[in-house]
Amino acid sequence: MSTTQFTDEQQTWLAYIKEHLIENLAIAEEDFEIMPVFERHGGLIVAKKVFGDDFNLLINKINESLAA
C-alpha cells in the first residue's frame, strides 16, 4: 500500500476516519457498520471497496500509530 498516493475517494474516506478519531481513540472494522459518520456513506462495504485489499492494513497502521 502506498503511504503517499491516495485517490480522491480514498482521501474522502480518510477524512471520515479522521472525524471518527477526533472522538475515539482507535478504529475497528465494526465501527464502519455502527458509526453514523461511516454508515451515511455506505459503511463497511463501501470502505472495503474504496481501499480494497489495503483496508485491514490501513486500519492496523492507524491504530499502531495512535498507540505509539
Alpha helices in 1-68 (DSSP H): 8-23, 31-34, 36-39, 43-51, 55-67
pLDDT in tens, 3-36: 569 999 999 999 999 999 999 999 999 999 999 9
What's the pTM value of the predicted model, to 2 decimals? Answer: 0.87
Task: Check if the beta carbon of residue 47 is closer than 8 Å to that of residue 9.
Answer: no
Query: Binning pLDDT at 50, 70 and 90, where does residue 67 land?
Result: confident
